[in-house]
Amino acid sequence: MENVVLTIHLILALLLIGVVLLQRSEGGGLGIGGGGGTMSARGAATAMSKLTWIFAAAFIVTSITLTILATRGGDSGSVVDNSAAAPATEAPATDAPATTGGGLAGTDLTLPGISTDAPVTPPPADAPAAPPANP
């Protein structure tokens, strides 16, 4: 039902746009447009204005109908209440290797040439200690 009303609503919107664009400008708004002083197209203007009123009234009716149809199934509260009450699900962890290349090609933003991975094996016990930092 809602899809049928929505389809009619969209067709009415396009028809309303077309009828408004087809109307003859009388040049009263901004001083542009206009035309001669003859009133020979007055009969066509009244038919177009009547058609505009009919399409506008039908557009308003379908808008109200769509609003009623949308609120009919919305008894569960607001969207914020529904999202706050829903349990948060975490994304599954992946074992993808970290990229250390430059640019935005990787998934992280590390500096090029700097590895954030810890060494796989510990250093040997007889390795020299790091030199003291200069104060």
In this prediction, residue 87 has a pLDDT band, given cuts at 50, 70 and 90, of low
Q: What percent of the chain has pLDDT over 70?
A: 44
The mean predicted confidence, pLDDT, of the chain is 73
Distance CA 50, CA 113 (A): 73
What is the per-residue DSSP string for 31-82?
S-----S--TTHHHHHHHHHHHHHHHHHHHHHHHHHHHHHHHT-TT--HHHH
pLDDT 10s digits, 22-67: 887 766 555 555 555 545 556 666 888 899 999 999 999 999 999 9
pLDDT 10s digits, 2-29: 999 999 999 999 999 999 998 877 665 5
